[in-house]
Structure 1
Amino acid sequence: MMRRLMAAILMLLAMASPAVAQKRIALTFDDAPRARGPFLTPDERTARIIAGLRKAGVRQAAFFVVPGNLAAPDGAGGEQRVAAYVAAVHVIANHSFSHPGLKAMTADAYLADIDRAGAWLQGRKGLRPWYRYPFLDEGGTDKAKRDAVRAGLAARGLSNGYVTVDGSDWNIENLAGAARKAGKAGKPIDMDALRDLYVETHVEAAEFADRLGRQALGRQPVQVMLLHETDLAAYWIADLVAGLRKKGWTIVKTDVAYRDPIAKLRPDTPSAQGNLLEAIAWEKGVPAPRWYERNTLSIADPLFRARVLHERP
């Protein structure tokens, strides 16, 4: 009798206890195969990203492919680099053929560009039926165009390869590249400070998204981090994963992330550009800020100059 009573008490306590927080996130990389960056050749970058993900114990990341990049002057070997990611147990998906912005073209032309990329991707190992909008641009304020492309994706069996966490890593890399090109010798770059800024920015972006998800959904969705196939990722993806884990994050497969219920949501907001969680928060009336502050370049750029280049305002 006493055992049954104790078991009942323990069950009631468990039911009354708050649910354990689950901070889960998947890693995704845009624009593969990219051109040469400020520090590494494309081959060096791919090898380092694969090694960094393996070192960090990331079981699966996703690489969103732009086949048109193969025509770039340093695009040779790009097909092999994409295959190398798949051989390392990661997955690939469609990111358009030429990386166009939807606002700048018709829905029909845009879908044709997606089809061209799809033809290149068809039959390749590791392919997933996801499409990520270049620039996260779903058509701006043109809802008719937005809906036409959404319908076109559905007809092709493609779902939105959305993101919920963004730290504008492309901008950090661009600033580092510009610094290296400045003058004959370039500006001196504090590489330790650059690493710290890169890691800190993306960990903060994840923490921001976790808070926004709780506000907008009343729960913690599986987050999807937007990265790009950059030299900075090649150097410090393992450091970034370590930083996330230090804050309690679990790195999950992209396959897991895109099974979260928010994958089925199609928010209707005044401007269809940005990450999915921001749009959900906007639709539900969550007050600003709904956008991680370092995605605003007027904030991010001076921070880079002060911390990485040690320039005074």
Structure 2
Amino acid sequence: MKSKLDKGLSRFKLIFLVTTLFSTFCFAQEREIAITIDDLPLVASQMNTPNNQKRSIDRFNKIIEAFVTYKVPATGFVIAGAIEKGQWEFLEQFHKAGLMLGNHTYSHYNLNQMSAEKYIADVARADKILTPIMTNPKYFRYPYLAEGNKNTKQQVHDYLAEHHYTIAPVTIDSKDFNFNEMAYKIPFRAREAYILHKLKPRYLAYIWKQTLRAEKKSKGQSSKQILLIHANLINSYLLGDILEMYQKNGYKFISLTEALKNPAPTISLPSFLESARTQSEVLSEEITAK
């Protein structure tokens, strides 16, 4: 017969074992993601008329508000040559909100289609413009995720390292540009309703499908994800919905710096042939994701 003390110890051991297993399971299932947004300050309207200026300001504000509301330490990547008059204030506002800013080149060139020398000169030109507003550590994102071929990749990589840049990879590609293109095919007056009621469920479903695909590549490990989106029209409307989706599915928002400590398998544009795929070819993939 076991004494009351023995029974008490056995019960304690059982509770301890169950608690330990539960904690281990929760830790193993921990989901973390860094949100990165490319092509700042683009919000799809030129700053050439009062109405366009207002639209650009409103859209950019909605992006910042979504990040602040969900407490997301996001990183934005700036195309230095695309900063129009009045848009430097957008970047300052982004920075003041506690968000990070990195280099996305001056001209948004595709390294798979040009010399290393020309590309490096373009990065350096952007660096000179963005230095006053870039945050530390310094991050660089390849346009199109194109890292070059055997003749250019190492040269550019060495330049970035010499100038203290950390390359920002991607583990989840939203391919939002395809959905954004769908929105622009809709007449202006009907566009907002189309985005909010027709496009939204398709877009969110596709991002989640991409997320599950990235998780599968991680093979059950608690790797940190890095999402790529762009500062475009649909995200000015739907960024809050994207963040809410991740939050409801147990994701914790982390900085790019934190994500790079143990990133999930990353993706890139491997070759000229891949980068030359037509928009319609990629778009067909999205249609099948309905």
Give the Å deviation of 1:60. 1.1
Letter in structure 2 aligned against 1:48: K
Partner of 1:83, secondary structure, is: helix
Show structure 2 runs of 5+ residues with no match. Answer: 47-51, 273-280
- After TM superposition, give the deviation of residue 8 of structure 1 in Å: 5.8
**Structure 2 equivalent of residue 251 of structure 1:** 253
SS in 2 for 1:41: helix
Q: What one-letter code is carried by the residue in structure 1 that aligns with 2:169?
A: Y
Give 1:60's aligned residue.
Answer: 73
The 1:249/1:270 distance shift into structure 2, 3 A limit, reads: closer
TM-score, with length taken from structure 1: 0.74
| In the alignment, structure 1 residue 196 sits paired with structure 2 residue 201 | yes
Number of residues of Structure 1 aligned to a counterpart in Structure 2: 269
CA displacement at 1:198 relative to structure 2: 2.3
Match of 1:178 in 2: 185
Separation (CA, whole Å) in 2 of partners of 1:125 and 1:133? 16
Is 1:19 the counterpart of 2:25 in the alignment? yes
Q: Structure 1 residues 78 and 187 mapped into 2: Cα distance closer, same or farther (>3 Å)?
A: closer
Rate the CA distance shift 1:188–1:6 in 2: closer, same or farther, 3 A.
closer
1:32 and 1:205, CA in 2 relative to 1: closer, same or farther beyond 3 A? same
Identity of aligned residues (%): 23
Is the deviation greater in 147-156 or in 95-104?
A: 147-156
- Judge which range, 220-229 or 39-48, deviates more: 39-48
Displacement of 1:102 after TM fit? 0.3
Would you say the 8 A contact 1:92–1:128 is kept in 2? no
**1:158 and 1:270 mapped to 2: Cα distance?**
20
Q: 1:20-51 CA deviation, whole Å, 9 max, x = no partner? A: 20111111100001153599822111111111
**Amino acid across the alignment from 2:154:** D
Q: Quick one: which of 25, 32, 40 aligns to 2:40? A: 32
The AA in structure 2 aligned to 1:297 is: L
- Offset, 1:5: 6.7
1:223 corresponds to 2:231: no
> Does the 8 Å contact 2:33/2:224 carry over to 1?
yes
Counterpart of 1:83 in structure 2 is: 92
Secondary structure in 2 matching 1:143: coil
Q: For residue 67 of structure 1, what is the amino acid of its counterpart?
A: A
- The code of the aligned residue for 1:159 comes to T
Matches within 5 A, 1:91-130: 91-124=100-133, 126-130=135-139
Inter-partner Cα distance in structure 1 for 2:193 and 2:21: 56
Cα offsets for 1:254-302 (capped at 9, x unmatched): 2321232669x9x9x99368xxxxxxxxxxxxxxxxxxxxx942121x4
Q: Tell me, what secondary structure is at the counterpart of 1:159? A: strand
Letter in 1 for 2:64: I
- Superposition RMSD on alpha carbons, in Å? 3.3
Q: Shift of the alpha carbon at 1:19?
A: 3.4
Measured in 1, the distance between the counterparts of 2:105 and 2:255 equals: 22
Name structure 1 gaps, 5 residues minimum.
274-294, 308-313
Distance 1:185 1:235 in 2: 14
Q: Residue by residue, what CA displacement relative to the aligned partner does 1:116-156 show, whole Å, maximum 9, x if unpaired?
A: 111112132635411100000011xx223212222221111
